[in-house]
């Protein structure tokens, strides 16, 4: 059996989820996902005209928030490896004709974004499917592509701080979401994985430590009692 962190396994999972991802992402975050993405993007200083890498871009859900910061002179390099998710990203792109967005179909650990070429890196809900060693590789990759002084901000669904909310949220993720997945997709197994990844990931604390070790100035943020956590930081100049 493939590890849940095997990139082929994850690519296949998102290909299968792509038909229902937009709806399910909204539901699994109780409708907070839109606000969390915006907060993730606005939590760092993205200058007008900046080039921004949107890693694990999915269907391009972060693009409008990024372009609100960069203005028309900005450019997005949108990277993802799931053909299913990217089909929706291409559709979104046709509706944003004046935007400079380059979609890159690639594994984030093997991509052609040049060294020190981007002013900022964003990722919405793209890190919970990474193991600790993959998070180290991700930190190195972000360090490689960011210009000195550039910033990054990542956010993902997390296990809330202990208490009633944690019990309710984890029950919801592990029991209710698979049922909704079955209703929308006819497949509860795929959406079961969301609870499993979230439980393994817990929150962005480990990632924060890893990014600090790799030489970034970093800070972790909790959103809505820790139902999502973010990590943001800077590559030193
Ligand atoms: C939960 S979705 C997030 C999509 C979007 N950023 C959002 O805000 O909703 C995670 C995305 O990460 C992509 N992904 C996961 N591992 C990846 C990897 N190693 N390389 C490239 N993309 C990856 C998946 O294909 C999926 O589209």
Query: Rg for the chain (alpha carbons), in Å?
Result: 17
For ligand 1, is residue 25 a contact (CB within 6 Å)?
yes
Q: Whole-number mean pLDDT of the chain?
A: 93
Best of 14, 17, 18, 55 to mutate for ligand 1, by most ligand atoms within 8 A of CB?
A: 14
Decide if 16 contacts 84 (C-beta within 8 A). Answer: yes
Q: What pLDDT shows up at residue 162?
A: 84
Which tens digit of pLDDT belongs to each residue from 74-129? 999 999 999 999 999 999 999 998 899 999 999 999 999 999 999 999 999 999 99
- Give the model's pLDDT for residue 25: 80
Q: What is the mean pLDDT of residues 65-69?
A: 98
The phi, psi pair for 123, rounded to 5°, reads: -150, 120
C-beta 82 within 6 A of ligand 1: yes
Residue with CA nearest ligand 1 atom 4: 58
What's the pLDDT score for residue 176? 87
SS3 78: strand
Ligand 1 atom at minimum distance from 56 CA: 12
Residue with tokens 């921004």: 52
Ligand 1 contact, 226 CB (< 6 A): no
The region that residue 71 occupies, defined by phi over 0 for left and psi between -120 and 50 for alpha, beta otherwise, is left
118 forms beta bridges with: 146
Q: What pTM does this model have?
A: 0.95
Q: Is the minimum distance from the CB of 36 to ligand 1 under 6 angstroms?
A: no
Report which of 167, 173, 166, 158 is spatially closest to residue 222, judged by C-alpha positions. 158
Q: Any residues with CB less than 8 A from the CB of 102 and at least 6 apart, and which?
A: 75, 76, 77, 78
Please give the pLDDT value at position 174: 85
pLDDT of residue 1: 58
Name which residue leads in pLDDT, 180 or 76: 76
Place of tokens 């592990």: 174
**List of E strands, the chain:** 51-55, 75-80, 100-105, 118-124, 146-157, 217-223, 228-234
CA of 95 to the centre of ligand 1 (A): 21
Pairing mode of beta strands 228-234, 217-223 = antiparallel
Any atom of ligand 1 within 6 Å of the Cβ of 84: no
Q: How many CA atoms lie within 13 A of 49 on its CB side?
A: 0
Share of the chain above pLDDT 70, in %: 99
What would the mean pLDDT of 136-150 be, rounded to a whole number? 97
Atom 22, ligand 1: which residue's CA is nearest?
80
> Does residue 136 carry a pLDDT above 80?
yes
Q: Which residue has the tokens 């960069």?
A: 70
10 C-alpha to ligand 1 centroid (Å): 9
Half-sphere exposure of 181 (CA within 13 A, CB side): 23
Q: Where residue 191 falls among pLDDT bands split at 50, 70, 90?
A: confident
Residues 66, 68: Cα–Cα separation, whole Å: 5
* pLDDT class of 19 with cuts at 50, 70, 90: confident
Q: Is 61 in the pocket of ligand 1 (CB under 6 A)?
A: yes
| Domain annotation for the chain: domains and CATH numbers | 30-159+201-234 (3.40.50.150)
Residue with tokens 């979230």: 198
Coil vs helix vs strand at 85: helix
Which residue owns the Cα nearest ligand 1 atom 12? 56
Among 213, 137, 185, 225, CA closest to 13 = 185
The model's confidence at residue 20, banded by pLDDT at 50, 70 and 90, is confident
**Residue 232, beta-bridge partner list:** 153, 219
The string of pLDDT tens digits covering residues 198-220 is: 999 999 999 999 999 999 999 99
> 18-27, 36-45, 66-75 — which is least confidently predicted?
18-27
Provide the pLDDT confidence category of residue 226 given band limits of 50, 70 and 90. very high
Distance of alpha carbon 189 from alpha carbon 4, whole angstroms: 13
């Amino acid at each position: 059996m493939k590890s849940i962190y095997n990139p082929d396994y994850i690519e296949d999972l998102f290909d299968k989820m792509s038909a229902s991802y937009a709806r399910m992402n909204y539901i699994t975050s109780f409708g907070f996902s839109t606000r969390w993405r915006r907060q993730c993007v606005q939590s760092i200083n993205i200058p007008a005209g900046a080039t921004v890498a949107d890693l694990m871009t999915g269907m391009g859900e972060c693009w409008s928030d990024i372009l609100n910061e960069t203005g028309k002179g900005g450019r997005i390099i949108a990277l993802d490896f799931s053909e299913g998710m990217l089909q929706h990203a291409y559709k979104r792109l046709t509706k944003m004709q004046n935007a400079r967005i380059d979609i890159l179909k690639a594994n984030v650990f093997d991509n052609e974004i040049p060294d020190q070429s981007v002013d900022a890196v964003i990722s919405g809900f793209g890190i919970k499917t990474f193991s600790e060693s993959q998070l180290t590789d991700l930190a190195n990759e972000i360090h490689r592509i960011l210009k000195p002084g550039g910033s990054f901000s990542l956010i993902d669904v997390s296990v809330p701080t202990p208490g009633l909310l944690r019990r309710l949220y984890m029950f919801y993720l592990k029991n209710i979401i698979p049922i909704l997945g079955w209703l929308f997709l006819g497949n509860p197994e795929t959406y079961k994985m969301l609870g499993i990844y979230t439980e393994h990931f817990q929150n962005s604390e480990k990632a924060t430590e890893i990014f600090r070790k790799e030489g970034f100035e970093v800070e972790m943020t909790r959103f809505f009692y820790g139902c999502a956590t973010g990590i943001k930081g800077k590559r030193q100049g």
